[in-house]
Chain A
Amino acid sequence: MQESIIHRARQGDQRAFQQLVESYHDVVWRTARVLLPDANAAEDALQEAWLDTWRGLRHFNDRQEFRPWLLTIVANRCRMAMRRRTISTVPIEVADEERLISADDVAKTILDAERASELQIVLKALPVEQQHVLELRFFAELELAEIALVLHVPLGTVKSRLHRALGNLRESKKIELLDILNTERAHRSR
Chain B
Amino acid sequence: MNDTKLEQHLQKHYQNLYGNPPAAEHMWKRIAPELAMQERKVIWWRRMFMSKHATNKPIVATQREHRSRRAVLHTGTLVASLIIGLATIGATAYAATGGAQLADLFEYLGIKSMAQQFSDYHQSKSVDGYTLTIQKAYADTNRVLIGYTGEAPTGKSFAGKFAPGEGELTTEQGIKLRNMGGIATGTESGNLFAYDASGIQGTPKELHLYLAIPYGSQPQNSGFQMEGYLTFNIIVPFHPGKVLQMNHAVTSSGKPETKQASYHDAVAGIVKGQVEVLHGKTVTLQKVVIAPTETRAYIQGFDRADYTNIAFSRLDFKLTIDGHEYSASMIYAGTNAWQVNFDDPSLASKKGQWILTIQQTISEIDSKEKAYETPGATWNIPFIVK
Q: Across the interface, name the chain B residue whose C-beta is closest to A53.
A: B31
Q: Across the interface, name the chain B residue whose C-beta is closest to A176.
A: B1
- Asked if A1 and B1 sit within 8 Å, CB to CB, the answer is no
- Asked if B310 and A14 sit within 8 Å, CB to CB, the answer is yes
Question: Which listed residue (B18, B42, B310) contacts A12, Cβ 8 A?
Answer: B42
- Asked if B265 and A15 sit within 8 Å, CB to CB, the answer is yes
Interface string of A47-59 (1 = CB under 8 A from B): 1001110110010
Q: Does B7 contact A (CB under 8 A)?
A: yes
- Asked if B34 and A47 sit within 8 Å, CB to CB, the answer is yes
Q: Does A120 contact B (CB under 8 A)?
A: yes
- Asked if A21 and B1 sit within 8 Å, CB to CB, the answer is no
User: Interface residues of B: mostly helix, strand, loop or mixed?
Assistant: helix
Question: Which parts of B121-178 form the interface with A (CB within 8 Å)?
Answer: none
Chain B residue total in the interface (Cβ 8 A):
41
Q: Does B39 contact A (CB under 8 A)?
A: yes
- Asked if A8 and B22 sit within 8 Å, CB to CB, the answer is no
- Asked if A138 and B39 sit within 8 Å, CB to CB, the answer is no
Q: Does B57 contact A (CB under 8 A)?
A: no
Q: Does B114 contact A (CB under 8 A)?
A: no
Chain A residues near B34: list those with CB within 8 A.
47, 51
Interface string of B31-68 (1 = CB under 8 A from A): 11011101100110000000000000000000000000
Chain A residues near B31: list those with CB within 8 A.
21, 47, 50-51, 54
**Whole-angstrom distance between the Cβ of B264 and the nearest chain A Cβ:** 10
User: Interface residues of A: mostly helix, strand, loop or mixed?
Assistant: helix
**Whole-angstrom distance between the Cβ of A25 and the nearest chain B Cβ:** 4
Given known contacts A15-B265, A138-B11, is B24 in contact with A76 (CB within 8 Å)?
Answer: no
Q: Does B27 contact A (CB under 8 A)?
A: yes
- Asked if A30 and B39 sit within 8 Å, CB to CB, the answer is no
Q: Which residues of B contact A (CB under 8 A)?
A: 1, 3, 5-7, 9-11, 13-18, 21-22, 24-25, 27-28, 30-32, 34-36, 38-39, 42-43, 221-224, 265-268, 271, 310-311
Can you name 15 A-B residue pairings with CB atoms under 8 Å? A4-B267, A12-B43, A15-B265, A17-B35, A18-B28, A25-B27, A26-B21, A43-B30, A47-B34, A55-B42, A138-B11, A139-B18, A149-B222, A170-B6, A175-B6
Q: Across chains A and B, which 7 residue pairs bring their CB atoms closest together, nearest first?
A: A139-B14, A25-B24, A29-B21, A76-B223, A138-B10, A22-B24, A119-B13
Q: Which residues of A contact B (CB under 8 A)?
A: 1, 4-5, 8, 12, 14-19, 21-22, 25-26, 29-30, 33-34, 43, 46-47, 50-52, 54-55, 58, 64, 68-69, 72-73, 76, 117, 119-120, 123, 134-135, 138-139, 149, 166, 169-170, 175-176, 179
